[in-house]
Structure formats: C-alpha cells, structure tokens
Structure 1
Amino acid sequence: MYIGFGYDVHKFKKGRKLFLGGVEIAAPKGLDGHSDADVLIHALMDALLGAAGLNDIGHFFPNNDPQYKNISSLKLLETVCKELKNLKFKINNADITVIAQEPKIYPHIDKMKINISKALKLNKARIAIKATTNEKMGFIGRGEGIAALAVVTIKK
C-alpha cells in the first residue's frame, strides 16, 4: 500500500468560471490558472502522483504549454490515471478537503464524486469530499482564493 498527499491553491479572478471537482459552480469569480484551475482535482492528481513516487503535476502538465490552456482538469486526471495504470498501480481510495469561505461546496459534492469516480474508474463510495471554511481568517477567509488537500492510497 502506498500513500500520497496533495495540496493546491488558486486565487480568484474575475472573468473566469469556477470549476471544482469537474463541476462548474455559479460564482462571481473563478480561479486563476493555466488550465481550468480546479484546485480539488489538482490536489488529487498530486496525491496520486506522489503515492506512485512520480513528479508533480507541473512536470506532467507545464503551465507554459499551450495545449493545457483552459483544459478540463478531469482530462488531466484521466491522463494521471493512465500513467498509474501503466505502472500497475490500482487506486484504493481518495479523501479530499476543499477549504473555501465561499461558495458553498456541499450541494455539489455528489456530482463531484461522480465525475471523479468516472475519471478514476473507482466506486464513488471510495471517494470522500469534504468542505470547510477558514473561519474568515487569512486569504481564504477573506475570499481571495480556494485551497484543497487530498490523501490517497494506491496498491500494486
């Protein structure tokens, strides 16, 4: 059994759509980034790559490569899963926490789990997604951005 941990953070930017867990969420601002800036998926990918002893997502999907401009992070997650499968790894579970003052995440969690389940080819019961605020402290509490943490287990 191998364990991986991932973290990602993006600041808000006007004029962008907000994507979390592959779900477009109605919000006045989206997250700034080269891809769709889905912090939840990015943290998950880094956890998976780390568990397999591989480089981070910046190595696989450089932010200066035009082919990844505004790409859906779910597509990138599928690529990471193929990489793990090629190395004979099987994903056991994923536990993800989103830290955001706003918007409310809870109403979207089931759809996020369905999206991630499809990308990972993993029963959605093996995927946990939780949300918390930052109690109005720091950049997250001030509504300047969103962070996500992910822990995964994989096996050979």
Structure 2
Amino acid sequence: MRIGLGYDVHRIAEGRRLVLGGVTLDAPFGLLGHSDADVIAHAIMDALLGSLGLGDIGQHFPPDDPRFEGADSLALMREVVAMIRREGYRVGNVDVMVIAERPKLLPHVPAMRARLAEALGVGERDVSIKATTNEKMGFIGRGEGIAAQAVALVVPLAERGAMA
C-alpha cells in the first residue's frame, strides 16, 4: 500500500459559487480558481497523485490551460482515479480536514462524502471529512480563504475487494 498527502487553499471571491467536496453550497461567496476551486477535491487529488509519485494536479491539469477553466473537479478526480488504476492501484480510503471560518460544513458532509465516494470508486465509509476553524487567526481566520488537507491510501488492485 502507498500513502499520499495533499493540501490546497483558495481565496474567497464574491460572485462565484462555492463548491466543496463536489457539492454546491448556498453561500454568498465562492472560491477563486481556474477550475471550480473545490479545495477538498484538489487536496484529495494531490494526495492520490503523491501516493504514487505522479506529481500534482497542477502538472496534470495546468491552471493556465483553457481546457480546465471552470472544470468540474470531480470530473478531474475521476481522471486521477483512472491514472491510479493504470498504475495497478485503487483507492483504499481518504481522510480530509477542511479549515474554514464559514460556512458551517457539518450539514453538507453526508452529501460531500457521497459525491466523493462515487468519484473515487469507494464506499462512503472510505471517505472521511472533518472541519475546523482557524480560531480567527491568519488569512483563513479572517475569512479570506478556505484550505483543505487530505491523506489518501492506495492499495494494489490485487488486494482483497479490488474491482477489476
């Protein structure tokens, strides 16, 4: 088995929709980014790519490439999962910590877990999402951005329960 670590952060931006974990939240702001700026999905993708030494999402989906402008991060995640499978692995589980002062994420976590599990090809129990604040310290604490950290486990396709 292999383990990877991912991190992503985006600035808050008025006039954009807020997408976290593949779910569009009802919020008066979104996150600034070339794609949909889903920090949860981006952190998971970086963790998955890192687990096998495959670089990061910026290498595979460059922010200056017009093909990825406004891209759905879960569609990109499915591409990352396909890369992992081509390497002879599958996703085992992911664990995510979201750092944000607002909005409250707990009511949205079940929907996020379901959307991410589908994109990753795992069960919902294999996707953990936790949220915390930055106690009003730093740029996140001032409400200027949202960050996410993720750890991902990948296991060889030959392991018990692997999908062909």
TM above 0.5, yes or no, is yes
CA distance in 1, matches of 2:85, 2:97: 25
CA distance in 1, matches of 2:64, 2:98: 26
Deviations 1:78-133 (A, max 9, x none): 00000101111111110001000000011000000000110011011111000000
In the TM superposition, 1:4-153 aligns within 5 A as 4-153=4-153
Q: Name segments (4+ residues, structure 1) moved above 2 Å.
A: none
Deviations 1:47-92 (A, max 9, x none): 0000011110000000111110001100000000001011111111
CA distance in 1, matches of 2:143, 2:31: 11
CA distance in 2, matches of 1:80, 1:150: 15
CA distance in 1, matches of 2:81, 2:91: 9
CA distance in 1, matches of 2:59, 2:138: 29
Unmatched tracts of structure 2, length 5 or more: 157-164
CA distance in 2, matches of 1:93, 1:121: 10
The alignment of Structure 1 onto Structure 2 pairs a total of residues equal to: 156
* Post-superposition offset of 1:28: 1.1
What's the % identity of the aligned pairs? 52
Unmatched tracts of structure 1, length 5 or more: none
TM-score by length of 2: 0.94
Q: Give the 3-state SS of the residue equivalent to 1:35 in structure 2.
A: coil
CA distance in 2, matches of 1:100, 1:123: 26
CA distance in 1, matches of 2:141, 2:116: 27
